Structure 1
Amino acid sequence: MSVTAPRGFAAAGVAAGLKSTGKPDVAVVVNRGPHKVGTAVFTSNRAKANPILWSQQAVADGVVEAVVLNSGGANCFTGTFGFQTTHQTAEKAGELLGVSPGDVLVCSTGLIGTGDEVFRTKVLDGTTAAIGSLSDDGGEDAARAIMTTDSRPKNAVVSRGGWTIGGMAKGAGMLAPGLATMLVVITTDAVLDRDAADAALRSATRTSFDRLDSDGCMSTNDQVTLMVSGASGVVPDTDEFADALAELCRDLAEQLQGDAEGASHDISIEVVGAASEDDAVVVGRSVARNNLFKAAIFGNDPNWGRVLAAIGTTDATFDPYDVDVSFNGVRVCSAGGPDRPREDVDLTPRATHILIDLKSGDAAATILTNDLTHEYVHENSAYSS
């Protein structure tokens, strides 16, 4: 049931006509529990959409009663009109729910630079319809309503001793930190204060969504929201909650990776033997963003030279002539030189594992990415048509 698996939440997804396909495009998630705690993390792109600008202000007091999300239009670079549209969306939701508009977050996804009176009317009408359709099992409908180029909804649920975390996500392209082009709503019925919720969310996103780097492109609309209802009445151990939240976020991040636009390989780049975790992340990301490497994986070519060339552009601590590289369990490079024959590597499975041993320390990190395919280029060349 996704975001409605925890107690105290209701959700809905409706079709408001923002998509030409007639599919659902406006979602609402509402916290009906005794606690209204909320926190969020946002894109680090300096170019931020109007919903991001609004939600950053609204979440500052740590109270979130509801989130309204639309697909079919990013409402980004739409000027004063666009910000007013976001503001009116929060006001409409606040009016219908009997809460302060300042406690309503807004998220949008879709094409940048488009927005007019028709768009505004559809968003507001969709908000009205979604609130009128709220139900305790509406999480799946909400997850479908936020999809754009996604081929399927992404949901996850983790339960522990008497409390539950639920989440939904969308995203299939522009997947790169900070965050990814994604909208994520996470709910829990555990009892947490704002500081504990915020710390757990930032820790979880750091090792999940922030390490998903599908195509190196950062969105203007990324937002991950955590809402706390406290409806279970259970105060969890903070470490246990943080672990459970990290598990849920990793699950959603892997679902986003698996649905990346046009991808034929899901690539996990594991970097070990790093002098620091930051070094491991930098090295892994350098490979994930290397188009020559990604094209080689698409062609089932274990071209380890492209891995070494990519990591050599970083300032991480290591000796490039003492690095080992393995593809799907076969070490093809040892100490910066050839090892087993490339013919020993099978890259036909979708799941692809790259292991890079820097031999410079004990730190490690894994970056998730995808290959570069004809389908990815085609889909993004026709995105606005």
Structure 2
Amino acid sequence: MSVTNAAGFVAAGVVAGLKSTGKNDVALVQNLGPNKAAAVVFTSNRAKANPIIWSQQVIGDGIVEAVVLNSGGANCYTGAFGFQTTHATAEAVAEGLGVSAGDVLVCSTGLIGVGGQDFRDKVIGGVATAIPALNDDGGHDAALAIMTTDSKPKESVVQGAGWSVGGMAKGAGMLAPGLATMLVVITTDAQLGSADLDAALRSATRVTFDRLDSDGCMSTNDQVSLLSSGASGVSPSLEVFTAAVTAVCADLAAQLQADAEGASHNISIETINAVSEDDAVEVGRSVARNNLFKAAVFGNDPNWGRVLASIGTTDAAFDPADLDVAMNGVWVCRNSTPAADPATVDLKPREVSVTIDLKSGADRATVWTNDLTHAYVHENSAYSS
């Protein structure tokens, strides 16, 4: 049920004709309250789509009545007409639900440059279809509607003591920090204000979505929204609530990684004994973005030299002559020299782990990525055709 698992939420996913496949492509999630508090985290890309620009204004007062999402067009770099389309979409939702357009978040995903009159007409038509279809079992249909190159919907639920958190996500490529080419809606019936929601969401995304670096590319449309209905009447501690939101985000991030375009390996890169968490993240991200390393994993080649070369490009504190690297639990490099025979490393399974010991401190962090495959190149070379 994902976003409708929490009490006080209804959702719908409908066909508006944006996708050539004829599948669901417009989703709507409504918060029935009594609480309407929300928090949102946006892409850090300076090139922002019209829905991001709109939604950044909406969340200013911490109140959100509904979220409308479409796949099949990013409505990015479509000029003033595109922003007017975003505004018109929010107005259509507001009129149908009897709320203010200034309390409606708008999200779009798809090809940049798509957002003309035909796009507008189909999105507005989709809104008109979605409003009467809203129901408390519509979460799955909504999750289907936001898919683009995804092969499957992404949904997650965590139960608290008398309250719950549920979420849906889309994303299968351009997964990089500052969120990813993903749209995420998380709902809860816990009773919390917008400030607590914001703190919990930022804490959760920092260690989940922001460390998913599938291909080093950052989208223009990334948005993670957290809405509270307060319908349970329960107010958990911020610590307990943050843990639940983090669990949902981690689950959704893992599903995004597993569905990355064309990938044949899921790679977790854990950097240990770093001077700081920032150093550990920097090292892990450098390896995650090394195409030579990613290509080696695709070829089942435990080429640890490419790991050390990536570490060397960072500003992290370490001794280049004293680094250890393990792949799938086999320490193939000790003290920056060959150790165990790389032939003993089995990289055929989809799950691959890399451990990097900087021997410089006590902090650690994990970054997640995928290998670089022929299928990834093919899919992205033909994305707009």
Give TM-score, length-normalised by structure 1: 1.00
State the partner residue of 2:71. Answer: 71
Structure 2 residue identity aligned to 1:108: S
State the partner residue of 1:166. Answer: 166
State the partner residue of 1:314. Answer: 314
Q: Distance in 1 between matches of 2:358 and 2:132?
A: 56
* Superimposed CA distance per residue, residues 143-169 of structure 1 (whole angstroms, 9 cap, x where no aligned partner): 000000000000000011100000000
Structure 2 residue identity aligned to 1:343: A
SS in 1 for 2:83: helix
1:118-133 to 2 correspondences below 5 Å: 118-133=118-133
* Superimposed CA distance per residue, residues 160-214 of structure 1 (whole angstroms, 9 cap, x where no aligned partner): 1100000000000010011011000000000001111100000000000000000
State the partner residue of 2:55. Answer: 55
State the partner residue of 1:107. Answer: 107
Q: Hey, which bits of structure 1, 4+ residues long, moved more than 3 A?
A: none
Structure 2 residue identity aligned to 1:265: H
Deviation at 1:320, TM superposition (A): 1.6
SS in 1 for 2:147: coil
1:1-385 to 2 correspondences below 5 Å: 1-385=1-385
Q: Distance in 2 between matches of 1:115 and 1:314?
A: 40
Deviation at 1:307, TM superposition (A): 0.1
Deviation at 1:94, TM superposition (A): 0.3
SS in 1 for 2:210: helix
Structure 2 residue identity aligned to 1:78: T
SS in 1 for 2:273: strand
Q: Distance in 2 between matches of 1:102 and 1:114?
A: 24
* Superimposed CA distance per residue, residues 312-367 of structure 1 (whole angstroms, 9 cap, x where no aligned partner): 00000001211100000000000100000011100000000000010000000000
* Superimposed CA distance per residue, residues 37-79 of structure 1 (whole angstroms, 9 cap, x where no aligned partner): 0110000000000000000000110000000000000000000
RMSD value, Cα: 0.4
Deviation at 1:131, TM superposition (A): 1.1
Structure 2 residue identity aligned to 1:59: I
Structure 2 residue identity aligned to 1:195: A
Q: Which runs of 5+ in 2 are unaligned?
A: none
Deviation at 1:233, TM superposition (A): 0.3
Q: Which runs of 5+ in 1 are unaligned?
A: none
Q: Distance in 2 between matches of 1:90 and 1:166?
A: 23
SS in 1 for 2:185: strand
Q: Distance in 1 between matches of 2:254 and 2:276?
A: 24
Give TM-score, length-normalised by structure 2: 1.00
Deviation at 1:303, TM superposition (A): 0.2
Structure 1 residue identity aligned to 2:127: T
SS in 2 for 1:322: coil
SS in 2 for 1:320: coil
SS in 2 for 1:92: helix
SS in 2 for 1:115: coil
Q: Distance in 1 between matches of 2:330 and 2:349?
A: 14
Q: Distance in 2 between matches of 1:199 and 1:309?
A: 37
Structure 2 residue identity aligned to 1:121: D
Deviation at 1:237, TM superposition (A): 1.1
Q: Distance in 2 between matches of 1:244 and 1:20?
A: 37
* Superimposed CA distance per residue, residues 71-118 of structure 1 (whole angstroms, 9 cap, x where no aligned partner): 000000000000000000000000000000000000000000122111
Structure 2 residue identity aligned to 1:24: N
Identity %: 71
Q: Distance in 2 between matches of 1:177 and 1:343?
A: 33
Q: Distance in 2 between matches of 1:333 and 1:127?
A: 56
Deviation at 1:251, TM superposition (A): 0.5
SS in 1 for 2:321: helix
SS in 2 for 1:366: strand
Structure 2 residue identity aligned to 1:292: L
